[in-house]
Amino acid sequence: MTYAETGSIGDALLRSGVSRRVLLEFAGKLMVAAPAGLALAAQWSPEAVAEEIAKARRPSVIWLHFQDCTGCTETLLRASKPDLGDLILNLISLDYHETVMAASGKQAEAALRDAMTQNAGKYICVVEGSIPTKDQGIYMKLAGRPALEVLADVAGKAAAVIAIGSCASWGGVPSAGINPTGAVGVDALLKDKPIVNVPGCPPNPYTFLGVVLQYATAGTLPALDAEKRPLFAFDRYIHDHCPRRAHFDAGRFARQFGDEGHRHGYCLYPLGCKGPITHAGCSTRHFNELPEVWPIGIGAPCVGCTERNVAFKIPIFETSAVPAPTPSAQYPEIRPETGTVSAVATGIVGAVVGALAGAAYVASKRFSKVAGDEAVPGAPAGDGGKGGKGV
């Protein structure tokens, strides 16, 4: 039996006996995972989001595995609230998935062909794993066909392609080093299909689900960056949203694994953390549905798994550059202003100077304008003034 039943997600949930509370919980988690940039989650409340989801038709998803480790599937499987069976398989119609489907062999191939035929042009093709291109792509074959061919075939009839994981996004681990198989990501091969890259090794499951449900509810894909990554999850560097950023700013570092700084949870920059140059949302959306379960949170420096120029290229323990697009306002200026001018003091000086100038003027008037006049100054006409009283 295939899962390719049409109908709304709400109906599917009802049929499976999944309680509304589970859906609400999921809706809440989705809102946290995508606080901005995902239209579906930009509702007033989890109830509103849940209603949106329930109304949508279950999208048909065909999931392809190529050169992968199945980690990206695992990340979906690790979700337990809701778990894969309860919710995820009701949110999407997972028509072909080599890891979880019951069928194998010829039945699996038949399932793939059926899914493609019945939902042609409407299904979402999810790609996990990179595609080898060297030597006509013989290094990964599915049912005797090279991955290149399978991709072109399946993705060619899809409505949209989601490349889940770094391998599918840009090549990932198989492309490291000399890249012996010529592994590349999906967008290097498909040029005329809407592609969303969700890199990460593995990525956060809610990011993936958010993209899929956005498509299911609104038929659109979320806003993407230049690397086709959804902005709602990949717009910031880890460094700019890291809980340990204050330690970085204050110069408190863990310099060796297990040292005092490490135990105190200080910044892992000297241990090679690539947070400053890695776009990802891991610092706010943690893994395994437990808070602080993410690499830096457990004391392991970020390796930059989402970035094609960082992961498996820059050595893990090599310190990264730190681009500072908006440095903190807490740095002192080059020339701070100092000094206060007291108004009272200015007034006093002004008064004194004025008084002296006035006195000088008055005194000068007492002196004669006649050359050679040696009479006592100010003497004539009985003007008392200063002279009379004396000092």
Partner 1 sequence: MARPASRATPLGVPLGVPLGAPLGVPLAPPHASVIHRWQRGVSVREVPLVTPWFLLFAGFFVVGTAIAAFRLFGGSLASFAAMTDVYAWGVWKTFNVMALTALGSSALAVGLAAWVLGRHRLHSVMRTALVTSFLFYTTALLGLLTDVGRPWNFWNLRLPWRWNTESALWEVALAMPVYCALFLLYENGPMVVEKLWNARSDRVRGWVRTWHPRIRKTYPFVVPFAYVLPIIHQSSLGGLMVLAGHKVHPLWQTDLLPLLYLVQALICGFGSVIVVLMTSCLVWRRPLDVKVLGELANLMSWTTLGWLVLRLGDVVVRGRVGDALAMDAFGVLFLAETAAVAVPALVLRSAHLRETPRALYTMALLACLGGIAYRFIPTTLAYAPGAGSTYFPAVPEIVITLGLVATVVGAFSLVVKRFAVLPAPLESWHHAVEHDSHAHPSHRSDAHGHAVHD
Partner 2 sequence: MILLSRRHLLRTVGTGLSTAAVGGAAAVAAAPAALAAPRTAPADAVGMLYDTTKCIGCKACVAECAKVNDLVPDTELSGGLWQMPADLNTQTKNIIKLWADPATGQTSFVKRQCMHCVDPACVSGCPFNALQKGALGIVGWDGARCIGCRYCEVSCPFEIPKFEWKKFNPKIVKCELCRHVLDRDGQPGCTRVCPTGAVVFGRRTDLLADAKARVAAHPGTYHLDHVYGETEAGGTQVLYLSHVPFEKLGLPALPDRSVPTGLRHGGVALKLIALPVVLYGVFLGFFRRNWKVHEEEAARLKAEKGLEEQL
Residue ranges that bind partner 2, judged by CB under 8 A = 248-253, 269-270, 276, 319, 321-322, 324-325, 327, 330-336, 338
SS (H, E, C) 80-118: ECCEHHHHHHHHCEEEEECCCCCCCHHHHHHHHHHHHHH
Please tell me whether the peptide bond between 230 and the residue prior to it is cis, using omega within 30 degrees of 0.
no
* Residue whose CB is less far from partner 2, 17 or 325: 325
Q: How far is the CB of 252 from partner 1 (least distance, A)?
A: 29
The one-character DSSP state at 164 is E
Q: Which does 387 bind (CB under 5 to 8 A by kind): partner 2, partner 1, none?
A: partner 1
Minimum gap (Å) between residue 342 Cβ and partner 1 = 6
For partner 2, which is the closer residue by CB, 249 or 289? 249
Contact status, residue 198 vs residue 169, Cβ threshold 8 Å: yes
Select 113 or 365, whichever has its Cβ closest to partner 1: 365
Q: Are 243 and 324 in contact (CB under 8 A)?
A: no
Q: Choose which of 177, 337, 381, 384 interacts with partner 1 (CB under 8 A).
A: 337
348 binds partner 1 (CB under 8 A): yes
Q: Is residue 71 within 8 Å of residue 15, measured between CB atoms?
A: no
Nearest distance from residue 328's CB to partner 1, in Å? 21
Q: Give me the sheet containing 195-198, strands edge to edge.
A: 93-97, 60-65, 124-128, 160-164, 195-198
Is residue 66 within 8 Å of residue 133, measured between CB atoms? Answer: no
Q: Is the Cβ–Cβ distance between 34 and 102 less than 8 Å?
A: no
Give residue 280's Cα distance to chain centre.
Answer: 4
In whole angstroms, how far apart are CA 85 and each of 12, 77, 89, 139? Answer: 12, 9, 6, 33
Selected from 342, 381, 382, 384, the binder of partner 1 by CB under 8 A is 342
Q: Which stretch binds partner 1 (CB under 8 A): 120-128, 222-230, 256-264, 340-348?
A: 340-348
Which is nearer to partner 1, 327 or 339 (by Cβ)?
A: 339
Interaction pattern, residues 287-326, with partner 1; x per rule: CB under 8 A: ----------------------------------------
CB of 353 to partner 1, least distance (A): 11
Nearer to partner 2, 265 or 387 (CB): 265
Instruction: Please report, in angstroms and rounded to a whole number, the separation of the first and last CA atoms in the chain.
Output: 121
Which residue, among 220, 219, 218, 229, has the nearest Cα to 196 in the 3D structure? 229
**String marking each residue 79-118 x if it binds partner 1 according to CB under 8 A:** ----------------------------------------
- Pick the closest to residue 302 from 272, 327, 281 (CA basis): 272
Residue 390: name its binding partner from partner 1, partner 2, none (Cβ under 5 to 8 Å by kind). partner 1
Q: Least distance in Å: CB of 264 to partner 2? A: 14
Report the C-alpha gap between 108 and 111 in whole angstroms. Answer: 5
Residue 364 binding partner per list partner 1, partner 2, none, with a CB distance cut-off of 5 to 8 Å that depends on partner kind: partner 1
Q: 177 touches which of partner 2, partner 1, none (CB within 5 to 8 A by kind)? A: none
The phi, psi pair for 95, rounded to 5°, reads: -80, -25
352 contributes a contact to partner 1 by CB under 8 A:
yes
**Total of residues contacting partner 1 (CB under 8 A):** 37
Pairing of strands 183-184, 131-132: antiparallel
The one among 121, 335, 381, 382 contacting partner 1 by CB under 8 A: 335
User: Can you tell me the distance from the alpha carbon of 109 to that of 96, in angstroms, rounded to the nearest whole number?
Assistant: 9
Any contact of residue 192 with partner 1 (CB under 8 A)? Answer: no
Block residue for tokens 């399978």: 150
> Binding partner of residue 365 among partner 1, partner 2, none, CB under 5 to 8 Å per kind?
partner 1
Identify the CA nearest to 221 among candidates 185, 192, 204, 197.
Answer: 197
Nearest distance from C-beta of residue 336 to partner 2, angstroms: 5
Gap between the Cα atoms of 11 and 18, Å rounded: 10
344 binds, among partner 2, partner 1, none (CB under 5 to 8 A by kind): partner 1
C-alpha closest to that of 76 among 97, 58, 55, 95? 97
Binding mask 355-384 for partner 1 (x = CB under 8 A): -----x--xxxxxxxxxxxxxxxxx-----
> Interface with partner 1 by CB under 8 A: which residues?
335-342, 344-346, 348-349, 352, 360, 363-379, 386-387, 389-391
